[in-house]
């Protein structure tokens, strides 16, 4: 049986980055730039005031003191959005507001709180340094500068930067469209009628949410009963997406028909079964360049195998360079047993305190118990036949940013 690392490697070598497309700024959020961004102009495009006050020539204030203030004639006003009408001459100042361009003939600004304002004049009682309260031309960005590299992930600040440069769109890698199929005679979709022996379809919805969180666009191809023709039909629909995920029907029972159906469709199966718990029966294949993930049916097994194998693949397709969740070392607040012969991924809550990260099992680790997944901030990775003792160290995959002990972020 393959290790998790071997399986992941097999998967990632068979998954490639999608092509780029131009997208509106907000639609770029969380996506990866496909080309560098080069500034076409200086930002700010002209020296401007960082305060409401008076623009002046610093040379006029060289000898100013409280006893002998410099008296300057106010020769105009320049609000933000306007340009001073004429040059300011020696012995003059100009009323100025935050963001307004510095008038010709001035080199500095004194905040209004610091001057005595008389009719038509101001008194300045200290020397003002050249450049004081002035934001110089190109302070933030120089024309021609590469401000973002290809491969950079667009966050809110990048959106602001692009807007500053006048860009309403950017070239980013496509979001993978990921088809999701649930299988099982017992599985009833939302809106359908439950009957004895039947359960709700939760996998489709949890997996769609995981796809969105990973940066993909989910496509729900519904629920197929445990019948070859029905499974094949919906798998065929799903194969037109950039990737396909199925859940259930990949174990060894007579009703586990997903692998057979994939074979019927001409898919190549690259791996089946990975030495882990939960999630052992995971299957990976491909057909016509579409990667196919056959995830186990138990809700937590499906979610955990998505985290370990599908999420990195989706991120690679979306052009991300960093594919994996962060892992940290943490100390166990109570013993974490793994009596099984496979590596375990156990649901834990994670806190951060002065001694570092600390983890505790979130409760029942059954692979159908979703409530302990809800409570989990991470997955503790425990080697086979091992119990991590209380205060012992364990590796943890962080699924959410950990809460700090005192409740602060």
Sign of CA dihedral 154, 156, 157, 158: positive
**Which residues are CB-contacts of 253 (< 8 A; sequence separation ≥ 6)?**
none
Task: Identify residues 152-191 at the interface with Mg ion (CB under 5 A).
Answer: 184
Q: Which does 185 bind (CB under 5 to 8 A by kind): ligand AMP, Mg ion, none?
A: none
Contact pattern for ligand AMP over residues 144 through 163, marking x by CB under 6 A: --------------------
257 touching Mg ion, by CB under 5 A? no
Q: How far apart are CA 61 and CA 127, in angstroms?
A: 5
Q: Binding partner of residue 247 among ligand AMP, Mg ion, none, CB under 5 to 8 Å per kind?
A: ligand AMP
CB closer to ligand AMP out of 180 and 352: 180
User: Binding to ligand AMP (CB under 6 A): which residues in 306-365?
Assistant: none
Closest approach of Cβ 399 to ligand AMP, in Å? 20
**Cβ 316 to ligand AMP, closest distance in Å?**
26
Q: Peptide bond before 71: cis, by omega within 30 degrees of 0?
A: no
List binders of ligand AMP among 280-309 (CB under 6 A). Answer: 296-299
**Which CB sits closer to ligand AMP, 97 or 255?**
255
Residue nearest to ligand AMP (CB): 297
Minimum CB distance to ligand AMP smaller for 18 or for 300 = 300
Among 103, 176, 249, 278, binds ligand AMP (CB under 6 A): 249
CB of 246 to Mg ion, least distance (A): 11
What string marks each residue from 166 to 185 as x (binds ligand AMP by CB under 6 A) or -? ----------------x-x-
The overall longest dimension of the chain from CA atoms, in Å, is 99
- Using CB under 6 A, pick the residue from 26, 199, 212, 321 that binds ligand AMP: 199
Residue selected from 39, 109, 187, 208 as contacting ligand AMP according to rule CB under 6 A: 187
Name which of 260 and 391 has its Cβ closer to ligand AMP: 260
- Of residues 204 and 286, the one with the C-beta less far from ligand AMP: 204
CA distances from 16 to 112, 178, 270 (A): 59, 14, 16
201 binds ligand AMP (CB under 6 A): yes
**Given 39, 78, 187, 248, the residue binding Mg ion (CB under 5 A):** 248
Q: Counting contacts by CB under 6 A, is residue 203 touching ligand AMP?
A: yes
CA 283 to chain centre: 27
Q: Which residue number has the CB closest to Mg ion?
A: 184
Residue 299 interacts with Mg ion (CB under 5 A): yes or no: no
In angstroms, give the least distance from the CB of 297 to Mg ion: 5
Cα 194 to Cα 400: distance, rounded to the nearest angstrom: 33
In the bound complex, what is the minimum distance in angstroms from residue 348's beta carbon to ligand AMP? 23
Is the backbone of residue 211 left (phi > 0), alpha (psi -120 to 50) or beta?
alpha
- Residue 175, phi then psi, degrees to nearest 5: -80, 130
Please report, as ranges, the residues that interact with Mg ion according to CB under 5 A. 184, 248
Residue numbers of the site for ligand AMP (CB under 6 A)?
182, 184, 186-187, 199, 201-204, 247-249, 251, 296-299
């Amino acid at each position: 049986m393959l290790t998790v690392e071997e399986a992941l490697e097999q998967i990632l070598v068979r998954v490639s980055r999608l092509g780029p497309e131009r997208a509106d700024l907000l639609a770029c959020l969380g996506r990866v730039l496909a080309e560098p961004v080069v500034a076409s102009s200086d930002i700010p495009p002209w020296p401007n005031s960082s305060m409401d006050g008076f623009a002046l020539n610093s040379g006029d204030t060289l000898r100013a003191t409280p006893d002998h203030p410099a008296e300057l004639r106010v020769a105009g006003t320049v609000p933000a959005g306007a340009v001073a009408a004429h040059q300011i001459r020696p012995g003059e100042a100009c009323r100025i507001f935050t963001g307004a361009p510095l008038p010709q003939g001035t080199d500095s600004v004194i905040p209004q709180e610091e001057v005595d304002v008389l009719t038509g004049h101001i008194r300045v009682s200290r020397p003002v340094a050249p450049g004081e309260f002035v934001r110089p031309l190109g302070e933030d960005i120089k024309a021609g500068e590469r401000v973002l590299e290809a491969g950079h992930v667009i966050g809110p600040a990048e959106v602001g930067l692009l807007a500053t440069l006048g860009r309403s769109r950017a070239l980013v890698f496509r979001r993978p469209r990921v088809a999701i199929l649930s299988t099982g005679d017992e599985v009833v979709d939302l809106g359908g009628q439950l009957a004895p022996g039947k359960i709700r379809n939760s996998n489709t919805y949890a997996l769609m949410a995981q796809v969105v969180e990973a940066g993909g666009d989910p496509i729900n191809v519904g629920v197929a009963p445990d019948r070859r023709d029905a499974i094949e039909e919906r798998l065929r629909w799903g194969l037109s997406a950039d990737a396909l995920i199925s859940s259930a029907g990949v174990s060894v029972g007579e009703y586990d028909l997903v692998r057979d159906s994939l074979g019927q469709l001409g898919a190549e199966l690259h791996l089946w079964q990975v030495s882990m718990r939960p999630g052992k029966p995971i299957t990976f294949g491909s057909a016509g360049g579409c990667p196919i993930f056959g995830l186990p049916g138990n809700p937590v097994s499906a979610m955990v195998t998505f985290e370990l194998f599908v999420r990195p693949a989706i991120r690679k397709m979306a052009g991300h360079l960093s594919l994996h969740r962060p892992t940290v070392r943490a100390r166990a607040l109570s013993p974490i047993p793994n009596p099984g012969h496979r590596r375990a991924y156990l649901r834990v809550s994670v806190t951060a305190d002065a001694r570092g990260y600390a983890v505790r099992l979130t409760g029942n680790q059954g692979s159908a118990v979703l409530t302990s997944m809800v409570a989990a901030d991470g997955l503790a990775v425990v080697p086979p036949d091992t119990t991590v003792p209380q205060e012992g160290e364990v590796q943890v995959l962080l699924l959410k940013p950990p809460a700090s002990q005192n409740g602060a972020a």
